[in-house]
Homo-oligomer: A and B are copies of this chain.
Amino acid sequence: MPFQPHTDDIDFILHEVLQAAQPLQALVPFAEVDDDLMRQVVAQAGKFVAQEIAPLQTIGDAVGCQWQDGKVRTPPGFAQAYRAFWQGGWPALACAVEDGGQGLPTVLEAVLYEMLSGANHGWTMAPGLLHGAYECLKHHGSEALRTRYLEKIATGEWLATMCLTEPHAGSDLGLARTKAVLQGDGSYALSGSKIFISGGEHDLTDNIIHLVLARLPDAPPGPKGLSLFLAPKVLPSGQTNTVHCDRIEEKMGLHGSPTCAMRFDHATAWMIGEPNRGLNAMFVMMNAARLHVGLQGIGLLEAAWQMADAYAQERRQMRAPKAVMGSAPDPIAQHPAMRRILQTQRAWIDAGRVLAYRTAIELDLAQHHATAERRQLAQQWCSFVTPVLKAAWTAQAFHGASDCLQVFGGHGYVREWGIEQIVRDARVSMIYEGTNEIQAIDLLVRKVLPDGGTGWHGLLQTLCDGLDAQQPSHALFITQVDALRQVTQDLVEQAPTHPELAYWLAEDYLRAVAVLLLSWAWLQINTAHLRNGSEGVTPRWSEPAQAVDHWVLPELEMRLQIMRARLGLKVPVAC
């Protein structure tokens, strides 16, 4: 039962809920993009994912990547599938036409990668860093580097890596020690070890382009002494660079993706951007990369849901409590405990799509909108929403997939059913691209608090725009926003005298925002149904909507209470 992209669900979110073509058509590069074109691309993408990528899910886990003498062999079928992927033009979907891309909106790439991740997380890691490397090189690379590498990366003919982590430098990249020494020809010699490098070595493409954080000899200590370098596996001369893959990690899951320990042994490299501004050059792509991980979460949860839903329809155990008289066992899909699990995951998936696709649209608005004001609003949306999507939807992918595993009973624990692979694969998404704890600190400590909450209050206002306080569900949402606003205000006031407080509460704050955003997304979905005049919404949409109210939303008040208690506000303020 391989993963099957449900493109009708995706189309509904894109066109009925977000009306995506409208804001995109207003941007110069996407003037020609309309609903039909988007539907066609999504349909084609879905077909490609179902036919070429989904069937490799099991073998990717069972065989995995194999390391021998510095070479990495990917699982059977992976290389052929990658060839079909780049020759089909999929990596270049949202790259500029002048760079060999198709010039389509980021949101279509987002849909593509969500589906790919659901179908085969391990395989999807390979092209997953391409777009980030493309943006990084496009905006910070010298003309010479761009001429040599940009189109190869845009089209995916060559794959790329990000070499950041070192054994002693994970969340704290400032501790990185890899050295870069200027050579006579203007290139640099890189020396050092990097770990956790996804796709550091493989057999999918002829060349691999490594983006490496390293330190010049005279660089200051800490993160402000890091520069960014490009080191290809194969040099322009055709010679192999001195970049070695010393091993691949044995991991909990994601066996289809080689996690490499890389050694740079006076490797030839060129600087990207300015000396000591390496993090700055990488951070250009951070929102996109984190959105990408959030999309993995959504895709993985969708995959888990599909499996559990299919199983629950088939498997019969006991009478359901609602059953009429009789003795034949009912499908477990009729048992409340199972329905609750399935409907709740559905609620997270659908809301995740609304938020992730909207964020992808905002990424394009941030780059291409005619007015600086709208660009800045878009930037603000991405800045605030992205860490929440990354953290909360990857956590939901893992915990929700585990709940879906539970639907299978003992069978869920057995490999052949496939659901336990999703749980194992999903776990890493809570760690990489900044751990979920780092995301929470990013949101509260680095983004909400520094300007006294001003920018954040602006975003909260955006969420309330267009709501109708006469509608009870809208009014409730506005009340909840006010409650969060109040807690934020108290955090702003107390942070200077209690520097640890925000760090203790960052998780609660992010969770509160996540539930609030989920709630907002479902208001948008429900509004779309009303707009369509569909009074009798099908259970497909009404049941998860109800699950939001019954089982998901109550966490918001709990998180607010946890924060209020720590802030010394014993009495609820706004609810």
Contact = CB atoms under 8 A, between A and B. Distances in A.
Contacts of A185: none
A246 interface: no
A414 interface: yes
Contact of A250 (B338, B416, B506): B416
B402 A427 contact: yes
A557 B561 contact: yes
A337 interface: yes
Nearest to A169: B317
B500 A322 contact: yes
A435 interface: yes
A252 interface: yes
Interface string A182-212: 0000000000000110000000000000000
A329 to B, nearest CB: 6
Contacts of A175: 317, 329
A430 to B, nearest CB: 7
A335 B196 contact: no
Contacts of A427: 402, 405, 413, 420, 423
A interface SS class: helix
A432 B499 CA distance: 45
A320 B320 CA distance: 52
Interface in A46-72: none
Contacts of A504: 336, 340
A482 B84 CA distance: 64
A453 to B, nearest CB: 19
Contacts of A566: 550
A306 interface: no
A232 interface: no
B435 A507 contact: no
A449 to B, nearest CB: 12
Interface residues of A, number: 73
Contacts of A500: 321-322, 336
A196 B321 contact: no
Interface stretch (A86-94, A361-369, A436-444, A529-537): A436-444
Contacts of A555: 558
A507 B340 contact: yes
Nearest to A329: B172
A489 interface: no
Nearest to A340: B504
Given A427-B423, A507-B340, A550-B566, A250 B410 contact: no
A409 B435 contact: yes
A398 to B, nearest CB: 7
Contacts of A195: 410
A437 B250 contact: no
Interface string A390-416: 000000001100100110011111111
A558 B565 contact: no
A503 interface: yes
Contact of A322 (B412, B499, B561): B499
A431 interface: yes
B406 A402 contact: no
A170 interface: yes
A336 B499 CA distance: 11
Nearest to A432: B410
Contact of A550 (B169, B253, B562): B562
Interface in A222-276: 222, 249-254, 259
A515 to B, nearest CB: 11
A474 interface: no
B337 A410 contact: no
A423 B251 CA distance: 13
A145 B409 CA distance: 33
Nearest to A165: B410
Contacts of A410: 165, 170, 195-196, 428, 431-432
A551 interface: yes
B172 A318 contact: yes
B249 A441 contact: no
A219 to B, nearest CB: 15
A280 interface: no
Contact of A252 (B171, B424, B506): B424
25 contacts: A168-B316, A170-B409, A170-B411, A171-B409, A222-B327, A250-B416, A251-B415, A252-B420, A252-B424, A321-B499, A321-B500, A321-B503, A336-B504, A337-B441, A340-B504, A405-B427, A406-B431, A409-B431, A412-B431, A420-B427, A550-B562, A550-B565, A550-B566, A554-B561, A554-B565
Question: Across chains A and B, which 6 residue pairs bring their CB atoms closest together, nearest first?
Answer: A172-B317, A252-B420, A250-B415, A558-B558, A336-B503, A337-B437
